[in-house]
Structure 1
Amino acid sequence: MDYLAKMKEDYDPLVPDLKLDYTKVELYLDLRKRKKDEVLKDASSIEICSRYICEGFIGLFYDSEKGPVLSEIFQATDVAFDFQSYLKGEKTQNYIKCLSDVVYYELSKKSEMTLIQNYPEFAKLGLKINHRLLQRLQLRSRIKVMGITKGYREFVEFMPGVEIHLSQSKIASYFSCSERTVREIQHALKLGKI
């Protein structure tokens, strides 16, 4: 599959007035393939890259007294990274893990700076990507705040196929509810009751 062409197709509408040459970007990107449950960023480490997801799902976690908490889910065309660590250049307790088999482009923070220096036209795209990232974060947060009872149907519609890759305990941690509630809601959805 031509993942660079897919990325171009995804990003071009964000900056319709620019004709960007993605072969320039390709020099700074590393295409990675990882398996489900592989850790991409450890807890207590500094985030040094962002990941444009071509295929699959990635999760942002932290550990609580009750166990791992899934706080964010990223899907194809999202950019996945530990925002807090990346922006501040500081360690966090967050870790990033593959929720499914994943294909993604990795762009180091250093490479991003060099890319913008060498090809300033990509700065405008970067701003649009950040804007979209914040919009999607807001949408995911709105669905989470609805709670699983009201938000689960919208959750699975917004992230098609994600429920196949998530255990009931991960879904429960994401929505801050019990696994029993997850089972009840999933059953109700199958029966068409929600």
Structure 2
Amino acid sequence: MENFIKKIREDLNRHIPLSDEFYTALNRYLFLKKRKRREIISSPDQKRKCSLYICQGYVGVYKLQHGKEFLILVFKENNLVHDWIKYSSEPDSQILVKAITDTVYLEFSLSDLRFLILRHPETFNLILVLNHRIQVATYHFLELIRKEFIYGYSAFCHCFPGIQGYLNYSDWASLFSTSTRTVGRVLSQKPKAKYPSSKRGGRGQRGNGTSMASPRL
């Protein structure tokens, strides 16, 4: 736990210097969590609103629609997975957050954050900085997946090293708003790697040509 607290402190201090007292207080509200690959982190029926700071691994945000899961966002080490989806959307928002790989993260709740702001006003400045950081990261991510899959695939794998071993054809199709047939054709021309088949119920299998356009938030 101590190593991960040190990690988040070094990361945040690059953006805004904060006092030792602040980090001592923050430490009381951070909870170290671990999830196995494909394990659910947050589901639509979860009442407690939390944000995550990823220490290790990849995390995916999925849109649930008509009983299917559509991967729409991917986060990596040092990313803050702010629960902006639940903060800003309707109560019945069908958003699922899952570990794409084995994942370690620090979790803190919205209620604890409010309490921290009352005790340490400097927290508000940190939130402004982090919100800007999230917006910039999201912008670059969306720019990445707006590319045609044949061009965007390599850039995506460069940004998320090793992730090609964890996403199936349907995940790629969902991210890039294309079909599993297109994904299969492009990946068949790439160096051999393990590409998991689709195992989530109701999602298209590799090579079926079904359009997997991702519903955007």
Shorter-chain TM-score tier: 0.7 to 0.9
Q: Check 1:89–1:114 CA distance in 2 against 1; reply closer, same or farther (3 A cut).
A: farther
Whether the aligned pair in 2 keeps the contact of 1:56 and 1:76 (CA below 8 Å) is yes
Structure-to-structure mapping, 1:5-84, within 5 angstroms: 5-15=6-16, 18-21=17-20, 22-46=23-47, 48-65=49-66, 67-84=68-85
Whether the aligned pair in 1 keeps the contact of 2:48 and 2:109 (CA below 8 Å) is no
TM-score by length of 2: 0.79
Please report how far the alpha carbon of residue 189 of structure 1 lies from its aligned counterpart in structure 2 after TM superposition: 4.1
Whether the aligned pair in 2 keeps the contact of 1:20 and 1:122 (CA below 8 Å) is no
81-90 or 165-174: bigger deviation: 81-90
TM-score by length of 1: 0.88
Q: Which residue identity lines up with residue 20 of structure 1 in the other structure?
A: S
176-185 or 126-135: bigger deviation: 176-185
Structure with greater helix share of residues: 1
Q: Check 1:89–1:177 CA distance in 2 against 1; reply closer, same or farther (3 A cut).
A: closer
Q: Which residue identity lines up with residue 44 of structure 2 in the other structure?
A: A
| Count of residues in correspondence between the two structures | 189
1:14-69: CA deviation from partner (whole Å, max 9, x where unpaired) = 11xx2432222111111101111111221354560101111111111122348311
**CA RMSD between the two structures:** 2.1
SS in 2 for 1:14: coil
Whether the aligned pair in 1 keeps the contact of 2:65 and 2:94 (CA below 8 Å) is no
125-134 or 19-28: bigger deviation: 19-28
Whether the aligned pair in 1 keeps the contact of 2:51 and 2:108 (CA below 8 Å) is yes
Q: Check 1:132–1:47 CA distance in 2 against 1; reply closer, same or farther (3 A cut).
A: farther
